[in-house]
């Protein structure tokens, strides 16, 4: 680069070389295959701004020798030389872009796309899609999970009798069976229970789950089906009910829509062969696949996890009853990220972003966004802010050996246990999401819950600045 002292303009890719006779020659840094083209020199100040770089036409500029006592300036002329280099675009000599392959992977499968020189990189489809569940044959078994206590006994009995009239087998938890079914001969023919040791087999026989209560009942269902879980429909009979979008007043209609199907995707079609109900084969229910996290607890000097939990809301590590701050080392796939010195730290799913995480200052994230939220609890640092990580992140939270006190970990508010120095918890996205049945659609249910439970963005509307006649001009801003 060389700056002209006469014009103050920045001349790019210009060099000065000594030539025989004491003169100096200005020339552009051109490829050796392009011959130099003489240009005129003008000793005048150019008030116009410099041309954009790179220039629209790729011409090679050369300035003839001038006297050594005279300072020369290379300036583009308004008159084009008759011997100027032709534009490459006119001759079709622009080089073509090199084609490339774009590999897409979700960690499980991989696809390859060819992007030609004239092509472009683009999203083949949104990262999240709508999901519709269509029964291949009519569901036969349903499980009912009800809130603890006797508050919802009448609602529970009404739902059980309706499902019995629909010809479905009903499964309930052992304590519910003992309290409300064992002595009722009307319900015994189609209501069943299970032994506690057989809980892991529920997912193999239950077609869908009905929850009666609030968000705690859904969290209980997630813990009951620790791995694979059937679709869940939840009726709002609890305190807050952010995840329970169905009203109990219409439970017969809503359960009938789940059994027989009521929605379809216009963009999807498939053949009706080998289906038991061809007339309604394309009708189903819209669901949200809510991400869960797999949490593995490793004790000190142990290579195998001593416990594996799947959480729907969040994993929390806090200081418990200790008066010291927690001292937690945070790693992502073995790479050290930070040291947490706070009351605690939590990793939340998008579903859990509207629970404990939002109370600690985290963002509210739509459940279909593939992400993990790292939210500190009262950090002793002004710069430690909540962050959102991609769903393929693998986080390790480790208690260092020099920690002043142990920490405590809990999973969705349950299975609380102590973590000693050297213990660690590894967290990653679970392969088993929780499918919750939508009342309207993926986004509509979420915004309805924000408005119903949080009064999100609720504010008195600003009054207009005038009442009758709208002022104009400067009077409008007085």
> Catalytic residue positions?
215
For residue 233, what are its two tokens? 């429909």
Please answer whether residues 379 and 340 qualify as being in contact, where contact means their C-beta atoms are separated by less than 8 angstroms.
yes
d(CA 230, CA 221): 10
Select from 402, 336, 348, 350 the least CA-distant residue to 376: 348
- Beta bridge partners, 429, equal 293
Bridge partner list, 40 = none
d(CA 215, CA 115): 47
CA distance 340 to 362: 16
Task: Report the candidate in 206, 135, 201, 222 with the shortest Cα–Cα distance to residue 435.
Answer: 222
Q: What is the bridge-based pairing of β-strands 407-411 and 314-318?
A: antiparallel
User: Chain-centre distance of CA 252, in angstroms?
Assistant: 35
Strand partners, 376: 345
Beta bridge partners of 309: 295
| Nearest-angstrom CA–CA distance, 401 and 149 | 44
Supply 268's token pair: 């999807």
């Amino acid at each position: 680069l060389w700056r002209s002292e006469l014009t103050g303009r920045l001349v790019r890719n210009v060099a000065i070389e000594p030539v025989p006779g004491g003169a100096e020659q200005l020339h552009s840094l051109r490829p050796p295959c392009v011959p130099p083209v003489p240009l005129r020199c003008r000793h005048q100040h150019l008030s116009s701004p410099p041309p954009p770089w790179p220039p629209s036409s790729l011409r090679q500029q050369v300035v003839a020798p001038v006297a050594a006592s005279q300072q020369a300036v290379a300036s583009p002329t308004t008159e084009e030389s008759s011997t100027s280099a032709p534009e490459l675009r006119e001759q079709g000599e622009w080089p073509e872009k090199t084609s490339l392959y774009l590999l897409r992977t979700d960690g499980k499968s991989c696809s390859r796309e060819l992007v030609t020189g004239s092509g472009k990189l683009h999203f083949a489809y949104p990262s999240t899609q709508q999901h519709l569940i269509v029964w291949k044959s009519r569901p036969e078994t349903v499980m009912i999970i009800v809130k603890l206590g006797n508050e919802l006994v009448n609602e529970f009995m009404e739902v059980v009798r309706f499902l019995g009239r629909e010809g479905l087998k009903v499964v309930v938890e052992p304590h519910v069976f003992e309290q409300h079914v064992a002595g009722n001969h009307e319900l015994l023919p189609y209501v069943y229970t299970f032994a506690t040791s057989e809980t892991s087999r529920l997912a193999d026989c239950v077609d869908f789950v009905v929850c009666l209560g609030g968000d705690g009942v859904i969290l209980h269902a997630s813990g009951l089906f620790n791995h694979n879980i059937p679709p869940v429909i939840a009726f709002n009979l609890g305190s807050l009910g952010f995840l329970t979008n169905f009203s109990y007043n219409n439970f017969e209609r809503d359960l009938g829509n789940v059994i027989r199907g009521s929605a379809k995707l216009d963009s999807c079609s498939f053949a009706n062969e080998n289906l038991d109900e061809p007339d309604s084969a394309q009708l189903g229910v819209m669901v949200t696949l809510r991400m869960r996290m797999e949490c593995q607890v490793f004790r000190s000097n142990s290579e195998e996890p001593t416990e594996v939990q799947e959480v729907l809301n969040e994993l929390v590590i806090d200081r418990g009853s200790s008066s010291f701050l927690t001292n937690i080392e945070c790693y992502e796939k073995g790479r050290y990220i930070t040291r947490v010195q706070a009351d605690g730290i939590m990793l939340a799913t998008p579903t859990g972003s509207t629970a404990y995480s939002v109370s600690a200052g985290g963002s509210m994230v739509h459940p279909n966004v593939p992400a993990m939220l790292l939210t500190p609890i009262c950090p002793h640092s002004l710069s430690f802010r909540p962050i959102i990580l991609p769903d393929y992140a693998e986080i390790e939270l480790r208690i260092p050996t020099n920690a002043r006190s142990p920490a405590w970990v809990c999973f969705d508010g349950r299975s609380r246990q102590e973590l000693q120095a050297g213990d660690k918890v590894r967290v990653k996205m679970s392969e088993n999401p929780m499918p919750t049945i939508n009342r309207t659609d993926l986004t509509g249910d979420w915004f309805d819950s924000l408005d119903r439970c949080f009064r999100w963005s609720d504010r008195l509307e600003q009054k207009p600045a005038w009442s009758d006649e709208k002022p104009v001009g400067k009077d409008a801003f007085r």
